[in-house]
Structure 1
């Protein structure tokens, strides 16, 4: 399998189309945007009696837990950034103090603790307990059960993604979080394909979604031959410490004139300041 060598160009899925520069490379985003706000409303029937009030109370508790998790995530991101800055400025005492604070935070953080308990329950075949821990995590942080990676295959075209939080380009105090991601597209079919368009659905921790469309990727519409792959890096800024992305690539076979286009899925993956650190718990 061969990989295509890429030129050093980053394609942002950003929120406007103004020219930008990152590391002295010109960046221009060109897409049309559509916001989608979705609200789910639960209504109790007359037969439910007091169940409606109970459901509303649970909803408020869940909202409070999510808000608390949001604040803890902000604190965690800020501490990580401060530790990095302290180490760069050779203030090693402060860096060590922040390192210890981060370790204590990770040990006491409810979501991290619940994830560890869930993994332990699964290992011991206690699946009812595992389901309970999973549901508790969903209430506190719906995004957290997603991995910072995904892998999906459509008509022989495999798309693998891995995301990472970039502390150096984030400003937690201003509500700015910067995530980079790497994508590998592998053609496991017996026909050459060309990537024509991209479509992303980006959802932040407040469940606010945004659709982003664009021509090709990183300014290219690459042709991928059978048993070859194409890789590129991009980035996504968020206003919350976590979120998720998913989408699809519009492609067509180029070995036959008049071939219809088809969509290749990009499975959902997480954007998280916590990363996948709990995998080893």
Structure 2
């Protein structure tokens, strides 16, 4: 599990290889990741956008950017948490992801960036 706190907002990441949805013969590897966002600040915040960097071990680098996460733009009051699960396809059995969320302070309407820490995506058979 990887965790990082930026401006009072904690991001925790857990990853899971999905063998039943992967096809190594076709260089198709699916990974799931669970993100937990916790608001340790004293203000309510809203997640507006996400920006991901996804890199596999073949040096393929792609970026994904868009509104919210899994169709939601959650609002978190101080002390609240939000959790979601999503997936990423790689063309190799290992890679990494990192990125950022654009958040809005709902008291003063200022936008700020929260770092999504870099985490590895590694198929379990690669670790043997």
Regarding TM over 0.5, the answer is yes
How far apart in 1 are the matches of 2:12 and 2:113?
Answer: 15
Contact 1:200 1:211 (8 Å CA) reproduced: yes
Q: Partner of 2:46 in structure 1?
A: 194
C-alpha RMSD over aligned residues: 1.6
Q: Partner of 1:243 in structure 2?
A: 95
Contact 1:164 1:275 (8 Å CA) reproduced: no
Q: Partner of 1:209 in structure 2?
A: 61
**2:28 counterpart of 1:176:** yes
Contact 2:93 2:126 (8 Å CA) reproduced: no
Bigger RCO (CA 8 Å, 6+ sep): 2
Q: Which runs of 5+ in 2 are unaligned?
A: none
**2:17 counterpart of 1:165:** yes
Q: Which of the pair is proportionally richer in strand? A: 2
Deviations 1:4-32 (A, max 9, x none): xxxxxxxxxxxxxxxxxxxxxxxxxxxxx
**2:85 counterpart of 1:263:** no
SS of the residue 2:124 aligns to: coil
Equivalenced residues, count: 128
Q: Partner of 1:73 in structure 2?
A: none
Q: Give the direction of change, closer, same or farther, for the CA distance of 1:194–1:275 in structure 2 (3 Å limit).
A: farther
Contact 1:159 1:183 (8 Å CA) reproduced: yes
Task: State the TM-score, normalized to the length of structure 1.
Answer: 0.44
How far is 1:275 from its partner? 7.8
Q: Partner of 2:75 in structure 1?
A: 223
How far apart in 1 are the matches of 2:71 and 2:126?
Answer: 30
Deviations 1:204-232 (A, max 9, x none): 10122111101000111110110010000
How far apart in 1 are the matches of 2:67 and 2:121?
Answer: 23
SS of the residue 1:183 aligns to: strand
Q: Which runs of 5+ in 1 are unaligned?
A: 1-148
Q: If you compute each CA radius of gyration, which structure gives the higher value, 1 or 2?
A: 1
Per mean C-alpha deviation after superposition, the further-off stretch among 189-198 and 269-278 is 269-278
Q: Which of the pair is proportionally richer in helix? A: 1
Deviations 1:158-198 (A, max 9, x none): 00001110100000001110000000000001100000000
